[in-house]
Amino acid sequence: MDKIETIRAFVAVAQEGSFTGAGRRLGLSTKLVSKYVQQLESQLQTQLFNRTTRSVSLTDVGAAYLERSRPLLEQMDELDSLVRERQTALSGPIRLTAPTGFGSTKLVQALIPFLKENPDVELDMKLTDNRVALVEEGFDLAVRIGALRDSTLIAKKLSDMELVLCAAPDYLNRHGRPSAPEALSTHVCLVDNNQVELNVWRFFSRDQEHVVRLHGAVQTNSPGALARMAIGGLGITLAPYYAIEDELENGRLERVLPDYRTSVFGLYALYPPNRHLTRRVRALIDHLSASF
């Protein structure tokens, strides 16, 4: 049995937290993944996982072994990629994570031509509105919107992301249309709690900055959810343009304070600094940069 494959199975189980999840990632049966891990434990004469009927967790020895195993597998993958890069066509796996709303709309639209052009690229995309630890969870690339909190990652800016203050006409007819940012303190505001300054919105007119501190705001980590709540007449929200573009065009949402500029977020591609950037990942980053 290939020692590298047993280590690969062990790392996958550690990252997924289950044999079933590891099997899905590797394209193997749960039984075979379990067999690989048992073979590795037998060779090492130690237990790497604590197993119960409900969970799988690393032992202290397993955690130490994982720390050393992951770089070893990355080096093997880099070696394989160097061989593949001599070929004309791009091939091999890319593990990508992105926000749910953006990932399922604009990002997918940008990915389709890339995947059609490179059919041998195997994309594994995880969409989530929670922050994902790229290195620990084995991702090659993340697409993120907004202020970057993790300075250990390398970031390539793909584009600016316009934020739009908006509300449903029904809400504005009932509660009035604010004429200045300061008037937002009397309105229900729907806030993305992913932003660094929670309950703070910034507006600009000419050379003046208006800082509005919100009270009694509704919060969520999903721009799509904020847009739907705004459409339902719950309040005013500051949302990325991509999330409300259609609603602005069909009149379900209306721009608020259109004479004031809002903050602009960045759209970024992030990847770990200590990982060899394979040709396929570099090509995808270049493609996304051109697309956006």
Model confidence pLDDT, tens digit, residues 98-107: 988 889 999 9
CATH number of the domain located at residue range(s) 92-159+267-291 in this protein: 3.40.190.10
Taking residues 111-138, report their average pLDDT: 89
Confidence check: pLDDT of 145 > 90: no
Phi, psi dihedrals of residue 268, rounded to the nearest 5°: -125, 150
174 residue type, one letter: R
Measured between alpha carbons, how far is residue 174 from residues 83, 92, 167, 168 in Å?
Answer: 65, 55, 11, 10
* Fold of the domain spanning 3-84: Arc Repressor Mutant, subunit A (1.10.10)
Instruction: Tell me the pLDDT tens digit for each residue of 219-259.
Output: 887 888 889 999 999 999 998 888 898 999 999 999 999 99
Q: Which two tokens stand for residue 63?
A: 């955690």
Domain over 161-263 is classified CATH 3.40.190.290: yes
| Report field, pTM of the whole predicted structure over 0.85 | no
Please give the residue that has the higher pLDDT: either 173 or 276.
173
The reply to whether 92-159+267-291 shares the fold of 3-84 is no
Give the start-to-end residue ranges of the domains of the chain: 3-84, 92-159+267-291, 161-263
pLDDT tens digits, 155-206:
899 998 888 999 999 999 999 999 999 999 889 999 988 777 778 899 998 8
Task: Give percent of the chain above pLDDT 90.
Answer: 47
Matching residue, tokens 């900055």:
209
The packing angle between helices 60-84 and 279-291, to 10°, is: 80
pLDDT value of residue 79 = 72
Average pLDDT over residues 89-103: 88
Give the residues across from 96 on adjacent strands. Answer: 125, 141
